[in-house]
Structure 1
Amino acid sequence: MENEVSKIFGLRAVIEAINSGKTISKVYLQKGLNGPLFSELNTLIKKHNISNSYVPIEKLNRFSKNNNHQGVAAQISPIDFVDLESLIATTLEKNTTPLFLLLDQISDVRNFGAIIRTAECTGVNGIIIQKQGNAPISADTIKTSAGAAFKMPICKVDHIKDAVFQLQAEEIQIVAATEKTDNLIYSIDLTKPTAIIMGSEDRGINPSILKIVDNKAKLPLLGEIESLNVSVACGAFLYEATRQRLA
């Protein structure tokens, strides 16, 4: 269970949190909720493109000890997200070869945390996620990242495609981790400015994104299992980039 301190409850409380500029990771709404305050909240959720889902009242009751949630709970992010344009500019100003990581809707908080930890250890300049569909930065994410989430710049974008085009405009190659290729990661030059994309646990990288990347690469699988855990695969990709850059 995520740390309850990072959640707020009640229609008015969540509305005020959004209006005050709090970074909201996700809003949980009771199925069948209606009324003027709900309409106001729903408008804010759409305006700010906040991740949300409708859940049974039993889930909200588990979140709130006194069940005084009015059908709404919100997860407040423990970190401040950074602007993608600023991150790219700051990274390019450094005397290093940029390395970014894009996550196409990783849904498991522990996978997300493990990826953040590995990214920090391999010198990734920033992680880019989509506002909708990605696991939130929760207490479990922070714990699994061993605190790396407080050190790693993380950006939220409306669509991963937008980030791809923005990075390509700065001559940063986009490498997609996918089984839909014959190229092994070891054949890709990762000493150049690079952004690696990892796909979700269940469907991989969105086909529309695969169409616009510069390179596709995979890891060799020599056993009978057809895929690796995404955080493990991400580690293998990032350490191959590290190996090439240290060579």
Structure 2
Amino acid sequence: MKLTKIYGLHSAQAALDYSAENILQVWVDSHRQDKRLSEIIKQLGDLGLNTEKADRKKLDRLAGGTNHQGIVIEIEMPAAKSEDELKTDLLNITTPPLFLVLDNVQDPHNLGACLRTADATGVNGVIITKDNATGITPTVCKVASGAAETVPVYQITNLARTLRWLKDQGLWILGAAGDGNQTIYQADLKVPMALVVGAEGKGLRRLTREECDMLVKLPMLGKIESLNLSVATGVFLYEVVRQRMM
């Protein structure tokens, strides 16, 4: 677990709804009169959590200059692991490795759902990007239903470089793409591998696609062109499980 500061009304409400037991300290704008903020302060009080009045300068400093909407919360959250830890952990895997890589996925609900499925399917770790992507948030933890604590999450800065390193370690890189040249059911998924899934609506970035050994797709028999990201990820991962159990 690590100490994290979150800010803004939406994030504060999510922390109250999903991770209230992990809230350690709260600062609120001493001059702001706002109905939503007042409701959050009342909920904090009902839970026995005290709020410290602070001026805007202090809140700006605590939030690193980000728009905090009058509230900053310090909370304990599961800690993401580093790229160096990924390199160490991979060496200790004794079965064919299976990693899930999320390329700039921004919806915390999708990340949480993917973590839950990753736990259920025995994924060795989930790799996420630092920039333009969600990290581990209270919403992620709620949707993951405990999987944010059980599945290692590695947050890296350069995805293309990480994929190249994984290939150097003997992993096959499979990219999920609607224009893939074969379906997931035609691919050999018993090999050491990383499944790469692109962002909502955008898919895999160009540099990410170029690092993939193959692109695989799901057969779509109806009129809808694609599935929700976390649903598709679940189908992909369970096909890996099916093949590896044969």
Superposed CA RMSD = 2.1
* Separation of aligned partners in 2, 1:75 and 1:225: 42
Distance 1:75 1:189, change over 3 A: farther
**Distance apart, 1:74 and its partner CA:** 7.7
Distance 1:204 1:74, change over 3 A: farther
Over the matched positions of the two proteins, sequence identity in percent amounts to: 34
TM-score, scaled relative to structure 1: 0.73
Provide structure 1 residue ranges, at least 5 long, that are not aligned to the other structure: 16-27, 31-59, 62-66
* Separation of aligned partners in 1, 2:88 and 2:100: 16
* 2:67 paired with 1:12: no
Secondary structure of residue in 2 paired with 1:176? strand
* 2:41 paired with 1:29: no
Distance 1:242 1:196, change over 3 A: same
Instruction: Report the counterpart of residue 80 of structure 1 in structure 2.
Output: 79
Alpha-carbon displacement from aligned partner over 1:95-117 (angstroms, at most 9, x marks no partner): 21100011001111111100000
* 2:1 paired with 1:2: no
- Give matches, 1:131-210, under 5 Å: 131-210=130-209
* Separation of aligned partners in 1, 2:201 and 2:146: 26
Secondary structure of residue in 2 paired with 1:87? helix
* Separation of aligned partners in 1, 2:160 and 2:74: 26
Alpha-carbon displacement from aligned partner over 1:203-231 (angstroms, at most 9, x marks no partner): 00102211121011000001111000000
How many residue pairs end up in the alignment? 197
Paired residue type of 1:105 = N
Instruction: Report the counterpart of residue 92 of structure 1 in structure 2.
Output: 91
Paired residue type of 1:12 = R
TM-score, scaled relative to structure 2: 0.74
Which structure would you say has the larger Rg?
2
**Distance apart, 1:94 and its partner CA:** 2.9
8 Å CA contact retained: 2:60, 2:66: no
* Separation of aligned partners in 1, 2:24 and 2:198: 27
**Distance apart, 1:180 and its partner CA:** 1.9
8 Å CA contact retained: 2:80, 2:136: no
Paired residue type of 2:105 = I
